Amino acid sequence: MSDSRELVLVLDFGGQYKELIARAVRGLSVYSEIRPGNMPIEEIKRLSPIGIIMTGGPSSVYQPGSPTCDPAIFGLGIPVLGICYGMHLMCHTLGGEVTAGGAGEYGRVTVTPENPVSTLFHETQGKPFEALMSHRDVVSRLPAGFRQTASTAVCIAACENAEKKLYAVQFHPETKHTDGGSEIFRRFLYEACGAAGSYKLDDYIDTQVGLIRHKVGGGNVLLALSGGVDSSVCASLLSRAVPNQLVCIFVDHGFMRLNEGDEIERVFSKRKLRFIRVNAQERFLKRLDGVADPETKRKLIGEEFVRVFEEESAKLGDVPFLAQGTIYPDIVESGGSYGATIKSHHNVGGLPKNLKFTGVVEPLSGLFKDEVRILGRKLGLPAFLVNRQPFPGPGLAIRVVGDVTEEKLNVLRKADAILREELDGVKNRPDQYFAVLTNTCSVGVKGDERTYSQVIAIRAVITGDFMTCDYAPIPHKTLGCISSRITSEIPSVSRVVYDITSKPPATVEWE
């Protein structure tokens, strides 16, 4: 970190909720970064964090080869909070004992604080509360100097050595399933770490504008603009930093939602940048002719995007810098010491490595998605872009089950538009919602005549992190209105069904 912001390090041991931890800290106005759990002690000292949080993980600390950290971390005088595996590692390293705990605990479990109440627990949490547990191993003996601060029916749920500023919890305060989880983080940050809470997004734009100008100088910058939140905010920030030096290529593959391509062009053609729209609808449809397998669709669309981008960028001549809408989770997902590489963050739509650029500009690479949305609003982007729901790169092509045709896309666009019109302004709006053309026909009756027409599925989910989700309990009256409109306004649709499957066992998308 190159500035003077307060920093909390989130040391990752393979925890599935590491991003939730880092975001919870930032949400409390303290800057956080995720680093590998085996981060060298000298690097930690150089960064001078005000606190360290150790994540959960799938391993057992007593097994050979399990993830570990430098034991010197616990003697730095920096407050440390261990969560789940982080608690096990802290206790195991400092002379306690961790053992297999039989059946373990999974889901919401009642946690009872001890007296006196720990630094981590607010006075109101002196009473039992519900917390998310996900563990089999337990701390069976505490290290010297530690005291138990909370328990469940089967385990030590929290412990601390307040003198050495070491705290640990068996449960996961970073999830919404733990009552008062945010307050636990607040007390760790402000009571234990003495945070001032100086992390704000207000000065982010000015800071990044200066950094971009310093890096780019008088060179031109090329951005592959998808119209998604990340690339749109990136384009807006770059156009403020280097007006008239930015070239945005928007490849319209024909799988966008109703009028979406025109809306994107309308927004960015007015900014101080060169906007190039490539209408490649026929080209992409031809590539997918007769293709039904969803993975094959994805690969073909990705390959064709690369070809179009290569052709267009070659026409521009000397453009030394490539800009990307990379955000912080993309970097985290690029792989760590104890996690698999999910995707490389140095790509835009699978761009080939042989494209010639002097450097890469990634002004959003330190932000989470919700922070990017806030930044977009500060930059004056319209709500339809800033609040755009997650939309797959292949677009509607993978919401048409089976082979893709222009006729099917038009049906799906109309159904999806109706769904969004009905849900966009409702109270307690779902976090994501869309229509699917199911590749199934059903008998119906229209105008006293038998029909055998297409079935549209509606998908709407509630989620805080898109790692898991529940289906949205949309009122029957609203569902009835949506169904009536779709079947009335689209002649080729005779039936609408609602997907009530959560994740897991399903995924958010159908394909």
Q: Which residues are known to be catalytic?
A: 84, 172, 174
Q: Which residues contact 102 (CB under 8 A, 6 or more apart)?
A: 136, 154
Contact between residue 36 and residue 331 where contact means Cβ atoms under 8 Å apart: no
Q: Yes or no: say if 188 and 139 are a contact pair by the CB < 8 Å rule.
A: no
354/132 Cα distance (integer angstroms): 47
Spatial contact of 336 and 22, defined as CB atoms under 8 Å apart? no
Dihedral (CA of 329, 335, 337, 339) sign = positive
Distance CA 454, CA 343 (A): 36
Q: Which helix (H) or strand (E) element contains residue 211?
A: helix 204-216
Helix ranges, 291-405 (H):
294-314, 328-332, 369-378, 383-386
User: Of 108, 144, 149, which is closest to residue 129 (Cα–Cα)?
Assistant: 108
CA dihedral 327, 332, 335, 340 (to 10 degrees): -110
Q: Angle CA(19)–CA(458)–CA(369) in degrees, nearest 5? A: 20
Q: In the structure encoding, which two tokens stand for residue 26, read together?
A: 């930032």
Q: Which one-letter DSSP state was computed for residue 17?
A: T
Question: Sheet containing 321-323: which strands, arranged edge to edge?
Answer: 274-279, 246-252, 221-224, 321-323, 359-361
Residue 429 has phi, psi (to 5 degrees) of: -60, 135
10 Å CB burial of residue 369 (0-12, 13-18, 19+) is middle
